[in-house]
């Protein structure tokens, strides 16, 4: 396993009184071990079915690979309809592992369909998609566990109407449903219409679903080796089997973040230094925010806990955010993701000899420049006594991405156990959903609609 976590710059020996002393860190060993045991105790149960994902999918992986091979031969476009984890996971893995201009490559190079994820209900974006695809040459993967996700199902209704008008009974051949096997609207529709269907395990929630058919099918369609994704996750799981604070990287990160939250560092920045990992930061932001941001704990106490995730990209955001990180409030932990070797590189040619402040770059590579800027940013933050740690990957490939995703999922689960909250529910999200349903007159939401109608109107004096 060539993923390492370096947390030297979290410690007081490096950043002084803004850091964590070794004795303080060591004092959490029993606490961390208990959190690890709690997570292990729940393995495979309730909403911790995601922990079994690296192990129990051999049959479905075979079927996914067969379906993906057929799609690559038969269609020119593959579109995911989803939102939240159903969209962020496929986007993150696709961007990490495929050519950064994949859709612009000729098909003989891509060897697969163009790939799009429709993860919002902006009408302009929906219409823009139809301007660049031919729906008769497209397979749409509708992903929603409940089949009641308003955004995804509105997309489905639009797409299905268009397909039916053009293709009649053959419309069903252009839809794949990824949903619950046992309940919800989409499985009923799939059975009625005859859609090909893949199942989301009952114990796997959206933000923990990328290593299930939710993410595996889109990945396989674009030619990603999903067996290696799962192998990386398995090996990371094995590395984190023991509740040893000094040996388990996910447990170490969770504990460091827990201590940081308790000391007022309520912002967690995730900053990969590779364009390929840009959307891993987006995926992580949802995982961390929705899992840990909770009003009440497991004992019913009002706690209002959580750490706000902020996504940044090196080196781009050195020129937009790092000024704040260096000189602003001491309320952040910055997590870097460093890549040891890029899959390709570019040498900076000789030139501009009359400008020494440009010519010094010549003969070096962009990969060198990227990682030197990471080193410089990390060094400067440390000089400013800012807490930071680094997740290091040898390279970006299926194996390492599978391991990274699983590391982050375990980190989140451990942190949830430490905070004594339910890391798998999302009542704060449901409130917004319910209000939307009421606004559209959905049956059963009449009381919420009346509550909204009775709300105090905006005061005109505060509108200018």
pLDDT tens for 163-182 read 999 999 999 999 999 999 99
Distances (CA, A) of 248 to 51, 180, 336: 16, 33, 18
In 10 A of CB 280, how many CB atoms? 26
Q: What is the model's pTM?
A: 0.95
Please check the confidence at residue 84 and state whether its pLDDT lies above 80: yes
Question: What's the pLDDT at 1?
Answer: 61
193 catalytically annotated: no
Distances (CA, A) of 283 to 125, 278, 287, 405, 461: 21, 9, 6, 9, 40
Please tell me which residue in 38, 65, 385, 433 is annotated as part of the active site: 433
Contact in structure between 377 and 337 (CB atoms under 8 Å) = no
Euclidean distance between CA atoms 432 and 312, whole angstroms: 27
Report pLDDT digits (tens) over 348-362: 999 999 999 999 999
How far is residue 287's CA from residue 304's CA, in Å, rounded to a whole number? Answer: 17
Q: pLDDT for 2-50, tens place per residue?
A: 899 999 999 999 999 999 999 999 999 999 999 999 999 999 999 999 9
319 among known catalytic residues: yes
- Choice among 151, 290, 338, 398 that is catalytic: 290
Between CA 361 and CA 390 the distance in angstroms is 26
CA gap 86, 208 in Å, rounded: 9
Q: Which residue matches tokens 């040459």?
A: 137
Any idea what the Cα angle at residue 398 is, between residues 281 and 270, rounded to 5°? Answer: 15
For strand 302-305 and strand 294-296, is the pairing parallel, antiparallel, or unpaired? Answer: antiparallel
Angle between helices 398-419 and 226-239 (to 10 degrees): 40
DSSP secondary structure, 8-63, as one string:
GGGBHHHHGGGSB-HHHHHHTHHHHHHHHHHHHHTTTSTT-GGGGTTTS-HHHHHH
Rounded to 5°, the CA angle 286-287-290 comes to 70
Strand ranges of the sheet holding 388-393, from the earlier edge strand across to the other edge = 3-6, 388-393, 332-339, 267-272, 308-311
Let me know if 351 is exposed, middle or buried by CB neighbors in 10 A (0-12, 13-18, 19+): exposed
pLDDT in tens, 310-359: 999 999 999 999 999 999 999 999 999 999 999 999 999 999 999 999 99
- The residues with which 148 forms a beta bridge, in sequence order, are none
Mean pLDDT of 371-385: 97
- For the record, the structure tokens of 84 come out as 């939240």
Q: Is 364 a catalytic residue?
A: no
Q: Measured over all CA atoms, what is the biggest interatomic distance in the chain, rounded to whole angstroms?
A: 74
Contact assessment for residue 176 and residue 193, using Cβ atoms and an 8 Å cutoff: no
The one catalytic residue among 124, 192, 319, 460:
319
Q: Using an 8 Å Cβ cutoff, are 215 and 93 in contact?
A: yes
Question: How large is the average pLDDT for residues 428-438?
Answer: 81
């Amino acid at each position: 396993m060539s993923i390492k976590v370096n947390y030297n710059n979290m410690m007081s020996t490096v950043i002084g009184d803004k850091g964590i002393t070794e004795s303080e860190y060591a004092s959490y060993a029993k606490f961390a071990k208990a959190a690890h045991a709690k997570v292990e105790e729940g393995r495979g149960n309730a909403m911790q079915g995601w922990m079994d994902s690296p192990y129990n999918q051999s049959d479905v992986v075979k079927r996914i690979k067969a379906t993906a091979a057929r799609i690559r031969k038969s269609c020119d476009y593959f579109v995911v309809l989803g939102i939240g984890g159903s969209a962020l996971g496929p986007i993150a893995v696709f961007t990490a592992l495929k050519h950064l201009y994949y859709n612009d490559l000729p098909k003989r190079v891509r060897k697969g369909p163009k790939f799009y994820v429709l993860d919002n209900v902006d009408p302009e974006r929906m219409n823009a998609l139809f301007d660049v695809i031919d729906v008769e040459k497209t397979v749409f993967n509708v992903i929603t566990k409940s089949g009641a996700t308003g955004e995804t199902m509105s997309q489905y209704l639009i797409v299905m109407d268009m397909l039916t008008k053009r293709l009649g009974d053959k419309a069903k051949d252009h839809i794949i449903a990824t949903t619950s096997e046992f309940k919800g609207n989409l499985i009923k529709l799939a059975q009625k219409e005859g859609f090909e269907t893949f199942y989301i395990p009952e114990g796997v929630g959206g933000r923990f679903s990328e290593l299930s058919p939710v993410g595996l099918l889109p990945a396989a369609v674009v030619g990603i080796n999903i067996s290696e994704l799962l192998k990386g996750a398995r090996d990371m799981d094995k590395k984190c089997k023991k509740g040893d604070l000094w040996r388990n990287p996910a447990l170490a990160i969770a504990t460091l973040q827990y201590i940081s939250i308790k000391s007022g560092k309520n912002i967690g920045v995730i900053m990969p230094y590779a364009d390929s990992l840009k959307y891993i930061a987006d995926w992580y932001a949802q995982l961390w925010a929705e899992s840990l941001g909770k009003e009440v704990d497991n004992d019913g106490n009002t706690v209002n806990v959580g750490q706000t995730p902020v996504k940044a990209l090196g080196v781009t955001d050195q020129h937009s955010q790092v000024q704040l990180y260096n000189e602003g409030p001491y309320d952040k932990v910055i997590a870097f993701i460093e890549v040891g070797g890029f899959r390709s590189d570019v040498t900076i040619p000789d030139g501009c000899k009359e400008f020494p402040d440009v010519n010094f770059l010549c003969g070096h590579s962009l990969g060198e420049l990227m990682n030197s800027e990471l080193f410089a940013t990390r060094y400067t933050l440390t000089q400013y006594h800012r807490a930071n740690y680094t997740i290091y990957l040898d390279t970006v490939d299926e194996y390492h991405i599978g391991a990274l995703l699983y590391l982050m999922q375990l980190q989140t689960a451990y942190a949830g156990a430490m905070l004594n909250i339910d890391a798998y529910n999302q009542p704060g999200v449901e409130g917004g959903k319910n209000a939307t349903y009421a606004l559209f007159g959905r049956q059963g939401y009449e009381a919420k609609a009346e509550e909204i109608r009775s709300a105090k109107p905006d005061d005109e004096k505060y509108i200018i």
